[in-house]
Structure formats: structure tokens, C-alpha cells
Structure 1
Amino acid sequence: MRKGEAFDPTLYNEDLAPIPRERRNWSWVNYSTVWMGMVHNVVAYTTAAGLVAAGMSPWQALGTVAAANVILILAMWVNSIAGAKYGLPFPVLLRAAFGYRGAQVPVIIRGFVAIFWFAVQTYLGSLAVGLILGTFIPGWSSLDVSILGMGLNGWISFLIFWGLHAYVIFHGMERIKFFELWAGPLVIVAGLVLVGWAVSVAGGVAPLFDQPSRLAPGEFWPLFALSVTALVSVWSTLVLNIPDFTRFSRSQGDQMVGQAIGLPLTTIIFSFMSIAITAGSTIAFGRPISAPDQLLLAFDNPAILLIGAATILIATLSVNVAANIVSPAYDLVNLFPRRLDFVRAGLISILIGFLFVPWLWMDNPETIFAVLGYIGGALGPVAGIMIADFYLVRRRNYDLASFYDRSGQYAYRSGWNTKALIATALGLAVAFVGLVVPPLSGLLAYTWFLGLAVAFVAYAALMRSESRPAAEAEPAMEIADELG
């Protein structure tokens, strides 16, 4: 009998077990293409392009994106090492800091946010489906009969796009890996074509980036702070669950190099393209158009509309599967290990996505920066606690068996570590104090940073008496092979 078979079935199953060495086959190429597939999405495009629409010059917008991504890659690296070392997913690693029961609190929050994003991205992708169907079906626009706040044609598009997600999920993580391998590069190629158009209408690259800022003196830095927080918050969910991906890595070098290529480098290139395209739309159409679907309609060309909409569809499907389904799937498996596996949990996650009715709140796109900031503020404390626990409390060493043992060192008091919950509450309180204390409303521009920093310090201080490394009788990889 393998060791894993003796563990508590409420804490252990095949999807939650450490990945054995022979199954850790993701190379730096896989991580690069996975990130390429994730950063090329409508929200990222709209957010970067929206900086120009909000009044920044193209260079100011690009600098803002670069600053946010330097912060992001550092956070990703810091929180990805444990996953690559032990082959464990995010919800299992959380047990070390929160306890096996307490970990369910941040797991539920993280899953809630991921499914929220799934719903948003699915709605945005369904707009591309609608553009494609409208090109081929006469009278498509006449189906705009409202049902629960969305037209019948919108519902048809939404259900078709939702079904594509179900198809990819049904084939598990390996299908996801190979789908991302070609989807990310394809979107880059399509984006370069639009950049070529923007350069053509502007008469060169220089005119695109010579457009001046429209911000009044003193307006840039407040917008910069809000925008950096929003851009970081777009990926605040992945900062937490990056171990769900790095657990498959052949080595620490593979995941770190792959992420460095795929996240900051590709994001800056993609943002450069979106900013250049938006600047080109200002020249071509007299106004900055930051929404991709509206830009395609502005061309009034069926061929461009069809190719562009197909690209948006692939890009959105790519990011949604990797960023917004993998995590809640593992989260649900962690909650119900005896009843769910990855595929079932993924299908349940996308069913729950309907409940967020994204077509209703997306009618107010001007709130996107505030929404992104609040999401980051909610998840920042959990990231701070995970980092403090692994590096300061555990000294980068975990006791693998205790993750699946109700009497192990991560059991705390009946599975609850109240110190982690207190640190989380303090981080949330400081991050959102501006909502209830108007004079401090300026702090809302830094929600993710405040939540992470306060929870990090509070958790490290509260756990100071317990800061000791776990005993490692065997190398982590060998233990993972045995447990897996």
C-alpha cells in the first residue's frame, strides 16, 4: 500500500497529492505559452488601452504597465517556489498557515473571485461570438429580445462560448497545456497585424507615441497609483494559485524563466500593441476606442470583423481556462475530495459562473479600475500570509505528511489557525478602511499592497514563537514521489 492510501480521505485524493517526479514535465516553453495565452485577453487589452482613453500619453501608459508587471513577476516568483518544490496545489499549501479547516476560508474567497472573472471573460468572449454569427446570419440583430437583462442573441452567443470551455475542461490539464501552446502565439500575430494598421494610419510609429497627455497637472500620479493597483489586481488571483501550475514544473529554473518570458515581457509587448492600436484609432476615427469589439465594428469590413472576432474568441477562451477555471476546480476538489475530481469541479465552476450575470454590471465599464482594486484588496492579505509562512515561519521547509493529517503540525486547534485569520482580518481592515473613513479614501488606490503588507507583518509577528523549519528526513522530491 502506498502512503497516500492511508491518509484521511477528507484531506487527500489524487488531484490534491504531490505530483511525483516523473509527471513533472512542464518546461519553460510551457510556462511561457501559458502566460502568453493568459495575458492576451480582452480585460488586459481594455485596461491598458483604457489608460490612454483616461488621458495618459502612450508612454505614460506603457510605463505604468511596466511598473505593475515588475511587481507582479516578483510576487509570482516568490509564491511559485513552494509549488515547484513540493508539487502541491494552492489549497493544500494554504493548510500550513491556516489549518486544514481554516484554509477553506481563503480557498472559498479565491474560488469566488476566479469564478467571477470567468463570468466576466465569458461574457466578453461571447460578444466576439455574436459578431461572428451576425456576419453570417441575416437578421441576427433582430433577436435582441431581452431575457433576464440580455438579448436572445446574446444568450445564444454566451451559451456557445460557455460550451467551448466545457469541451476544453473535459479533457483535463494536459489538454489545457497543449491548447495554450498555440493559442498565445496566435493572438500575438493577430495583434501585430493591427499594430501594422495603426502605424499605417499614423504614418509611422513616432506619431502614435507622440500624442500628449490630456491629464491636468497633478492628475497623473493619483491615476498612476490607481492603475498600478488595478493592473496588479488583474493577476492577484494568479499570485495566489500559481502553485497550481508550478507543481508540474521540471525544475525551479523552468518555471521562473518561463514566467519571466511569459508574464512581464509578453504583457509589455501586448500592452504596447493595445496602446498603439488605441492611439491609431484616435487618428483614424477621431476618438480613442479601447473596446476591441467596438474597434472591429468601426472598420465596417466583414472580413476584418470575422478574423478579429475569431482572435478575440481564442484569446478569451485561452485566458479563461487557464486563469479562471484551474484554480476554482482545485478549490472545489479541496472542499469535497471524496466526491470531486478536477474535471467535475471545473464543470461545476463554470455552471456557478452563470449566477454572476456579468452582462448587467458590465454596462458600467467606468467602474473597472475600482472593481479590480477591490478584488486585489480582498486577496492581498492571503498572499502576504502565504509568503510569510513559507519564508519566515517554515524557512522554506514543509512537512508533507502533515498536509493530509488531522493530528499533524498544521492541525492547530481543530483545524483552525486563529492567528492567520486575525492577520487576514487586519489586512482587509487596512485595505478597505477608505470605504468607511472618507478622509482615508485615498488609500483605496493601494488596496492590494496594503492588504499584503499588513497581513505579512501581522502574521509573522503572531507566529514568531512558532517560527521553526519542518524536519526533512528525506528530500522533498522523494517524499512527493512516495505520496503521489
Structure 2
Amino acid sequence: MKVKDPSLYNEDLAPLKKEKRNWNWLNYTTVWMGMVHNIVAYETAGSLLGLGMSVWQALATVITANIILILAMWLNSAAGAKYGIPFPVLIRASFGYKGAQLPIIIRAFVAIFWFAVQAYLGSKAVGAVLGALIPGWNGLSSIHFIGLGLNDALAVALFWILHAWVISHGMERVKFFELWAGPLVIVLGLALVIWAITVSNGLGPLFDEPSQLTGGAFWSAFGISVTGLIGTWATLILNIPDFTRFARSQKDQVIGQAIGLPGTAIIFSIMSIITTSGTIIAFGRPIWDPVELLQQFGNPFVLFLGAFALLIATLSVNVAANVVSPAYDLVNLFPQKLNFVKAGLISIVVALFFAPWLWYNNSATIFNVLGAIGGALGPVAGIMIADYYMVARGKYDLASFYKKDGLYAYKNGWNVKALIALVIGLIASFIGLIIPALKELYTYSWFLGIGFGAISYIFLMKSEKISNSNFENVETTI
């Protein structure tokens, strides 16, 4: 019996050695700060006011979503920290080494989609900086290229190149880049909050803006907004092991994520909501696009500093949240041909074909897209969590992840029961779109997906003859 199959193994997929598991709680805090302090997170929180919510309603929505998020993150983080292996390897335990490719491809597709969205929004900050520095830059907008003005197209290209520079040095550069990128955006957020309080003559008027949603209208908006906010991080719920595999200890990743995700995410969302409320008072309408808001001040110095902070923030989140995951996914698909850096560079090239500048527009679109993403990935998260805690009882056979005749071979590499559970979860997620009479259920697509995916997987696996309970040694040599 082979110890490891080369089609399932390379250095990026192998369990990390102890000396490389050196991320402490501060690293996880700053990584999450870098990920949550970004333009999409700012716009998503601020656009709650655009949906008609009051400040208090928006805050309640954000807090609820983040509490649910951290619970899901914690549940799916433990195995990565325990075994030192990434998501594409861990998911072989539930789907089989061949069956795992299906959720891996879905997750990679969604992550690359998000990369495209974030990169486009970040390129607007690049364009704002260049417009403030280079005379005649904005005049290039009269020349059109791939659906963009030439200035915007050049900004997109420059921002893509910046991503390639960060990716080119692997995960270590990601860790150190995140260490200072996240805190920088807090400074910008605080400055905008101070402006909002000043223009409103105190916090009172900001929180007194009435809600346009009452009764059933609010609860419908609340449901789709919570689902949408969770959908923002639906890919990270799956591939959080790609980060926690570097953890020095379980305690480090638990504490670091607790501070970084619900902690700084809620604070940043509060900043966004307060600032957006201030724009209603100052300009008579909610402005949740931070680049547009900075341009309203008419001060080149303010625009330059603010846009630079947004540029760093978006670069930070895009690499950590939307390049790391598809890079590992592609390495898993072609372990003998790709490594992390090559796969990451391929991911950002593919992302260009999503062309978000042709369709990205308003708050309603944001939440509809986020809801669909959450609904698609929720069942996979449910199956992974159910497999680790309920089926495997917290014990995996490390060697079997890299063998075609091991515990996770199932039938020719496919666990048909996991695929059935995935289909059941997807039907539950999108039943509201399939049957008009049940359209309200689509509001909770992620919850239905993760719940039905997990429950159906547990039920189907009860008859599974193979048990993981005999594998006590979590440090099996491969």
C-alpha cells in the first residue's frame, strides 16, 4: 500500500510541520482586521440604511450576523489547526478524494468571483489617487476600453499587478502584510466617524434618523441582510482551515478570531453605519461608496490619504480571503503542476473574465448576490462540520487523506452520500426560487442550506460501515 499518492499530495497540501505552525492570536486578529476592513464590508453595512433601516436596526443586523459567523468559523477551524492541513484536503474526509473536487470547484469559482468584485472596487481607489496626482488623468475617461474609460481600465490593471506582487511571496507575505494593513483602515474609519458626528452636531441626529421599514417589511429585510452578511464570508467559513493550519495552538486561533471577526468587524460596521447616516444629513441621501464619499469633500489631500487607505484595505482582504482559497483549490486539482504562487496568479487572471464593472451597481443587487453565494456554500459547510464532529468524532486518519485506498476512498473516490446531502442542502437553499409560494424561504438560504446539508449527511452516514473512531493518533506519519 502506498504511503502517499502523488496525485493527492505536494508540499502545499501536506500537513505543516510544527515549526511552521507559528501564527499566534495577534496574527489571526490582524488577518481578520485586514479582511473585514474593506470596501465591500463598508458598503454592505452602510447599504443597510439604503434598504430603509434605522441605525439601530442596522446595528442589530450586523451584530446578529457576526455572532453566527464566528460560531461557524470556530466549528470549521478546529480540524485545520489540529492536523495542519488545508480545506481541499480536509474535505476529502466527507466527499472522498474524487468527490471533493465538486465542492472545491464551486468554492474556488465563488472566491475568484469575489476577488473580481473586490479588485474592481479597490481599483476605484487607485483611480482616485492617480486622479489627484496626475493632471489630465480623469480626462482619459473619454477613451473606452473593455467597457471602461481608459483611466479606469489602467487603474484596474495596476491594482491587479499589486495583487500579483503580494501573492508572489506566498503565505508569509500575506501574514506580514495583514499585520499593518488592517489597523490603517481603522484610522480612516475613525476620521470619517468624527466627520459624521461633526456635521450632525453630535451622535443624537445620527441615531434619530427614522426607519422606513416596520413590521413584516423589516423582518424580511433583516433576514435577507443577515443571510447576505454571512454570504460575504461564505467562502471563508469553508476555507478557514487554510489559515488555522498555521496556528500555534487552538487557543491562539480561537482568541484571535474572536477579537478579529465579531470584535473589529462590528466596530468597523458601526463606523460605516454612522458615517452613512452622516451622509444623509450632509448630502440628503445615503452614500455608502467610500470613494464617492471622499470625492464629495473636494480636498485632494483628504482624497489621497483616504483612497490610499482603501487601496491597502482592499488589497489586504482580497489576497487573504479571495486568493488563498482558490490557490489551494487549484493546487489540489493539479498537485504535480502547480504550487501556491502559480495557482494564485492563475486565479487573479481568471477573475478578469467576471468583468464586475459591467454589472455591479446598487444595494439590492449586493444582498441578492450575497444571498445566492451563501445558499450555494452553506450545504458544504454543514457537511464538513457534521462529518468532523458527528461522524468522525473529532478524529481523522491523517495518512488516509493522501491515499487512494485509505479510509476516505469510499467507492472509487466518491462518497455518494455526501453528494446526496449536498443536493438536499442546495434544494433547501433555493426552494424559495424554485417554488414561488415559498419565496420567503429564500431569505434564509444559508441557514436552510447548512442545516439541511448537515442533518441529511448525519442521517445518511449512520449506515456507513467504516468508522473513524479507531484512529487515535492525530500525528500519523505520512
Normalising by structure 2, we get a TM-score of: 0.97
Which residue pairs with 1:288 in the alignment?
286
Superposition deviation, residue 195 in structure 1: 0.8
Which residue pairs with 2:179 in the alignment?
181
- Matches of residues 445-456 of structure 1 in structure 2 within 5 Å? 445-456=443-454
Gaps spanning 5+ residues in structure 1: where?
none
Superposition deviation, residue 364 in structure 1: 4.9
In structure 1, give the amino acid aligned to 2:196.
A
Q: Residue deviations 1:361-409, cap 9 Å, x none?
A: 1145531111100000000000010011101110010001100010001
Contact 1:39 1:319 in 2 (8 A): yes
Structure 1 residues 64, 219: closer, same or farther in 2, change over 3 A?
A: same
Superposition deviation, residue 301 in structure 1: 1.2
In structure 2, give the amino acid aligned to 1:317.
L
Q: Residue deviations 1:170-227, cap 9 Å, x none?
A: 0110010000000001111111111111111111122221222122443111100010
Q: Residue deviations 1:120-178, cap 9 Å, x none?
A: 00000000011111112222222122222111111100010000000000011001000
Which residue pairs with 1:396 in the alignment?
394
- Matches of residues 156-305 of structure 1 in structure 2 within 5 Å? 156-305=154-303
The answer on 1:9 being equivalent to 2:30 is: no
Q: Residue deviations 1:402-431, cap 9 Å, x none?
A: 000100010011101111111101111111
Which residue pairs with 2:352 in the alignment?
354
Distance in 1 (alpha carbons) for counterparts of 2:407 and 2:159: 45
SS of 2:216's partner is coil
Distance in 2 (alpha carbons) for counterparts of 1:254 and 1:465: 37
Gaps spanning 5+ residues in structure 2: where?
none
Which residue pairs with 1:327 in the alignment?
325
Contact 1:382 1:455 in 2 (8 A): yes
Which residue pairs with 2:86 in the alignment?
89
Contact 2:108 2:325 in 1 (8 A): yes
Normalising by structure 1, we get a TM-score of: 0.96
What percentage of aligned pairs have identical amino acids?
63
Distance in 2 (alpha carbons) for counterparts of 1:168 and 1:193: 28
Contact 2:395 2:472 in 1 (8 A): no
Of 123, 127, 130 in structure 1, the residue corresponding to residue 124 of structure 2 is 127
Superposition deviation, residue 285 in structure 1: 1.4
In structure 2, give the amino acid aligned to 1:441.
K
Which residue pairs with 2:378 in the alignment?
380
Which residue pairs with 1:339 in the alignment?
337
Contact 2:51 2:363 in 1 (8 A): no
The answer on 1:73 being equivalent to 2:70 is: yes
Q: Residue deviations 1:54-108, cap 9 Å, x none?
A: 1111111011000000100000000000000000100000000000000000000
Which residue pairs with 1:27 in the alignment?
24
Distance in 2 (alpha carbons) for counterparts of 1:173 and 1:455: 31
Superposition deviation, residue 10 in structure 1: 0.3
In structure 2, give the amino acid aligned to 1:279.
S
In structure 2, give the amino acid aligned to 1:70.
I
- What's the Cα RMSD here? 1.3
Of 44, 52, 55 in structure 2, the residue corresponding to residue 55 of structure 1 is 52
Which stretch has the larger CA shift, 201-210 or 352-361?
201-210
Distance in 1 (alpha carbons) for counterparts of 2:223 and 2:246: 35
In structure 1, give the amino acid aligned to 2:188.
A
Distance in 1 (alpha carbons) for counterparts of 2:303 and 2:20: 42
Contact 1:395 1:468 in 2 (8 A): no
In structure 2, give the amino acid aligned to 1:115.
I
Superposition deviation, residue 6 in structure 1: 4.6
Q: Residue deviations 1:315-355, cap 9 Å, x none?
A: 10010000000000000000000011100110011111111
Contact 1:381 1:455 in 2 (8 A): yes
Distance in 2 (alpha carbons) for counterparts of 1:381 and 1:352: 25
Which stretch has the larger CA shift, 402-411 or 279-288?
279-288
Distance in 2 (alpha carbons) for counterparts of 1:260 and 1:287: 34
Superposition deviation, residue 433 in structure 1: 1.4
SS of 2:6's partner is coil
Contact 1:111 1:331 in 2 (8 A): yes
Which residue pairs with 1:471 in the alignment?
470
In structure 2, give the amino acid aligned to 1:333.
V
Distance in 1 (alpha carbons) for counterparts of 2:146 and 2:349: 17
